[in-house]
Structure 1
Amino acid sequence: MNILNQFDYYAPKTKKEAMELVKSLGDKAKVLAGGTDLIIMMKEKMIKPEAIIDISELSELKGIVCEGGKGARIGACTTISEIEFSKELAAKYGALTYAAGELGSNQVRVMATIGGNCCHSSPAAETPTSLSALGASVVLGSLEGERELPIEEFILGNRKNALELGEILVEFILPEPEKKSACRYGYIGLRDAMEIDAVNMAVNLVLEQDGETIKDVKLVMGSVSPRPLISEKTPALLKGRKLTEELILQVGEAAQNEAKPISDVRASAEYRRDVVGALARRLVKEAYEAAKEA
């Protein structure tokens, strides 16, 4: 029987109170938002915190605010389900809402939070890949103040992030999408059911005013490296050029060469490399065509 270890439970009423608890309890405590990862790790005896700080009811850390021309802000305790069904986010950040809708089951999505999904820092997590492609940053808060980091600098590796003692993840900031741009997200798993992705990927592509020449592109791969892997070769191949079938093939090969997958119970490293090539070819083409219509 999986029985949780004994721990002290705290439910702060304000963000400031949560920060005071995080600072005073230090590494003895774990922060709980949705708990869909934390509780499982506790049941499996992977961690045994002496205290739990429950921030799930803090309204200061919830909500979605989209402003025309100013991007969006998402509270760290906003649930994945709220993101999935947000019409405001879907209008400008469809890659994120689609990724959110592919995370776990309905039951998981109504509990899990975007902050928890990123703090858990699983290499196969759905939201960090799309957030990174969209240029998102995180705001980390403590009693001493706040600091902002790009999402790819926040996630340091498998279950490792840049949170320092006394800090909590407060919110996500997404910039306004550029004109003539489009972002697409895709993934591949081994069966049509709730699962952890074998590979996921997001591509954000921006065109010049002529609507055909590629101005910029960001391709981000998940589940092929300990942290979201940003392609360096894709921009070098595509910037300043119009997309052709030959270029699409080259992008697939470049992404495969950059991927650093491992073999595990979900897929072999060889299979993951093949999937990376297929996703890169498809998503670059889809993003290009969508940007032409933007």
Structure 2
Amino acid sequence: MFLNHFEYFAPKTPAETLELVARLGSKAKILAGGTDLMVVMKAKAISPDYLIDINGVEEFKGIFCEQGKGAVIGTNTKLAEIQFSEAIQAKYPALAYAAGEVGSSQVRHMASLGGNSCNASPAAETPTPLVAMDAKVVLSSISGERELPLEEFILGVRVLDLAEGEMLTKFVLPEPKLKSACRYAYMGRRDAMEIDCVNMAVNIELEDDGETVKNVKLVMGSVYPRPLVSKEVTALLLGQKLTDQLIEKAAEAAQGEAKPIDDIRASAEYRREIVKVLARRLLKEAYAAAKGV
């Protein structure tokens, strides 16, 4: 399990980093935490000619929260920092919880938020709540920046909307709406550091009456090549006051939209059943939290 021969760079500034990304192009890989990259390199799944280690670039790290203005999180912010951030726990508890369920403590102190999205694994933990909360990514190059929703950035398994010469530099999270709540859950043998067989996030915003659904977004992970945003759940619940019967219909709708596969972690049939269970649970929890119950 030896690594291939490669040339190593350790830039100290964003400008230096982006120059390297532009000059080395697709022959280079970004090294942040390395908890995914080193694994696939040792398995010979990829053999980059160059590694660009961004751990010395302070501008790519950190959590910046301002009341009323959402949050900005640097791409190389470690998952443990997100897990224990009081600001994230208060404003985005679903993200803090998801970050805290990745691997082991050692992994979370090395793994980065950007890497968890750029690895583009269908079972990744943090993209699901980030998509539910309408997070955007900022993609930077020597030519400038562009911003797009995370759900449009992750296109499939290991496939990103990332042009040559670009890198993900930050996440932009909108301020949570009044009378809203986002909740996250997963199913997997996490005590054994097992990858999720299903994960899900639900974000609900209520009207001024505190009961009628104004917006709802249910996002499923590990049941599709990328985070799957339910269209049917939104169509069913908009403008409605949730009842157990309506929630059951929505859970069945999410189950019908899931397109899971059979693999070593779970069968497709089991995953579909878990989708229904998690959807029912999270819709109830997010609705109650949005109501302030």
Range into which the TM-score falls when normalised by the shorter chain: over 0.9
1:185 maps to which residue? Answer: 184
User: What is the letter of the counterpart of residue 122 of structure 2?
Assistant: P
Asked whether the equivalents of residues 75 and 172 of structure 1 are also in contact (C-alpha less than 8 Å), the reply is yes
Partner of 1:225: 224
Aligned pairs for 1:189-200 within 5 A: 189-190=188-189, 192-200=191-199
Aligned to 1:156: 155
What is the distance in 2 between the residues matched to 1:164 and 1:226?
20
For 1:233 and 1:51, the matched residues in 2 are separated by: 44
2:169 aligned counterpart, secondary structure = strand
Report the identity percentage.
64
The one-letter code sitting in structure 2 at the alignment partner of 1:150 is P
Deviation at 1:190, TM superposition (A): 3.9
TM-score, normalised relative to structure 1: 0.98
> Separation in 2 of the partners of 1:80 and 1:171?
14
Structure 1 residue 255 displacement after superposition: 0.3
Task: Name 1:30's counterpart in structure 2.
Answer: 29
Task: State the alpha-carbon separation in 1 of the partners of residues 176 and 192 from structure 2.
Answer: 32
Within the alignment, does 1:253 sit opposite 2:252 as a pair? yes
Unaligned stretches of 5+ residues in structure 1: none
CA distance in 2, matches of 1:225, 1:149: 21
Give the 3-state SS of the residue equivalent to 2:183 in structure 1.
strand
Aligned counterpart, 1:74: 73
CA deviation after TM superposition for structure 1 residue 191, in Å: 5.8
- Alignment coverage as a number of residue pairs: 293
- 1:109-148 → structure 2 map (5 Å cutoff): 109-148=108-147
Q: Which amino acid aligns with 2:97?
A: Y
SS in 2 for 1:69: coil
**Does residue 1:100 correspond to 2:78, yes or no?**
no
Are residues 1:271 and 2:270 paired? yes
TM-score (norm 2): 0.99
- The alpha-carbon deviation at position 235 of structure 1 amounts to 1.1
- Name the CA distance, whole Å, in 2 between partners of 1:50 and 1:208: 54
SS at match of 2:192: coil
Report if the CA contact (8 A) 2:7-2:49 is conserved. yes
Task: Give 1:127's aligned amino acid.
Answer: T
Counterpart for residue 57 of structure 1: 56
| Structure 2 counterpart of 1:212, one-letter code | E
Give 1:169's aligned residue.
168
Structure 1 counterpart of 2:41:
42
Cα deviation for residue 71 of structure 1 reads: 0.2
In structure 2, what residue type is equivalent to 1:81? A
Deviation at 1:259, TM superposition (A): 0.3
Off by >2 Å, runs of 4+ in structure 1: 190-193
Q: CA separation in 2, counterparts of 1:28 and 1:69?
A: 41
Taking the aligned partners of 2:271 and 2:150, their CA distance within structure 1 comes to 23
Query: Any stretches of 5+ residues in structure 2 without a counterpart?
Result: none
Deviation, structure 1 residue 56: 1.5
Find the aligned partners of 2:209 and 2:58 in 1 and give their Cα distance: 45
Question: CA RMSD of the aligned region, Å?
Answer: 0.8
